Amino acid sequence: MPATDLRFSGRIAGYGTTGGVRIVLGLWSTSPFGSFADAMIEDSRGKRLLLAPTQEIADFISTTYTFDDVEIGTVGWTRLPTGLRFVGGPLDTTLRIGGSSPLGRALRVVPKPVAVNPVWLQTIDPLARVLQPGARTAGSAGNGRREYYGVTGARRITAATASWSGADLGTLARLDPPVRFGFGSAPADPHLVDIVTTVRQPA
């Protein structure tokens, strides 16, 4: 029996705040669970939290990444003229999105069918680690599974505001140190990337 591939297509925003909180937003247009959003957060003390819209989605993500706490509730995002706003549980954050970054322009060279192919992503993973410290394109997803990050576009996050239960988390900062949810993080420079994530389950 062949392995089974689960594909998630959408965008990921990775950034930090001057208050020491690091945030990775998942904005998924298509997935085995339909369209949904989630947030992975690591605070200044290193506590890792997942915000997810359903228990089913939280269970899947938690078998792939590691968290100290999980919160289920209403999670969603809205497109704005200059960026996007994400609201989930106690987190309320607004991002201003700029133009394509040098990384994004470089990604255009690779045709999308190649850029999201797990064989290609496994091959370039060592190079990706060198060119974008903190980021990877292939690795373990736990329980005998493999995960592949196929990034097809990248734009800079140029400004951000964020609050937690109404308390200000500060303004935009680098995603540094890297978050510790799983095998891969995101570039230290705040980015919004177009991505196809493939989780390969063993036969």
Q: What is the pLDDT of residue 183?
A: 66
Contact 179/25 with Cβ under 8 angstroms?
Answer: no
Helices (H) then strands (E): counts for the chain: 4, 12
Cis peptide before 102 (omega within 30 of 0): no
Task: Tell me the pTM.
Answer: 0.90
Averaged pLDDT score across all residues of the chain: 89
Query: CA distances (Å), 95 to each of 20, 171, 176, in order?
Result: 17, 10, 18
The residue behind tokens 């978050």 is 179
Q: Which residue has the higher pLDDT, 184 or 71?
A: 71
pLDDT at 22 over 90: yes
Q: What is the pLDDT of residue 1?
A: 38
pLDDT at 111 over 70: yes
CB atoms within 10 A of CB 90: 15
Confidence band of 24 (pLDDT split at 50, 70, 90): very high
Q: Which of 152, 141, 149 lies closest to 7, judged by CA?
A: 149
Average pLDDT of span 186-199: 90
Q: What is the pLDDT of residues 74-97, one digit of tens each?
A: 999 999 999 999 999 999 999 999
How large is the greatest C-alpha to C-alpha distance in the chain, in angstroms?
Answer: 51
Q: What is the pLDDT of residues 154-163, one digit of tens each?
A: 999 999 999 9
CA distance 137 to 26: 16
Q: What is the pLDDT of residues 37-60, one digit of tens each?
A: 999 999 989 999 999 999 999 999
pLDDT at 185 over 70: no
Percent of the chain beyond pLDDT 90? 59
Q: What is the DSSP track for 31-74?
A: -TT-SEEEEEEE-TT--EEEEESSHHHHHHHHHHS--SEEEES-
CA distance 128 to 4: 25
At position 160, the amino acid (one-letter code) is A
Q: Which of 47, 50, 75 lies closest to 63, judged by CA?
A: 50
Q: What is the pLDDT of residues 113-151, one digit of tens each?
A: 898 888 888 887 877 777 666 677 877 777 788 889 888
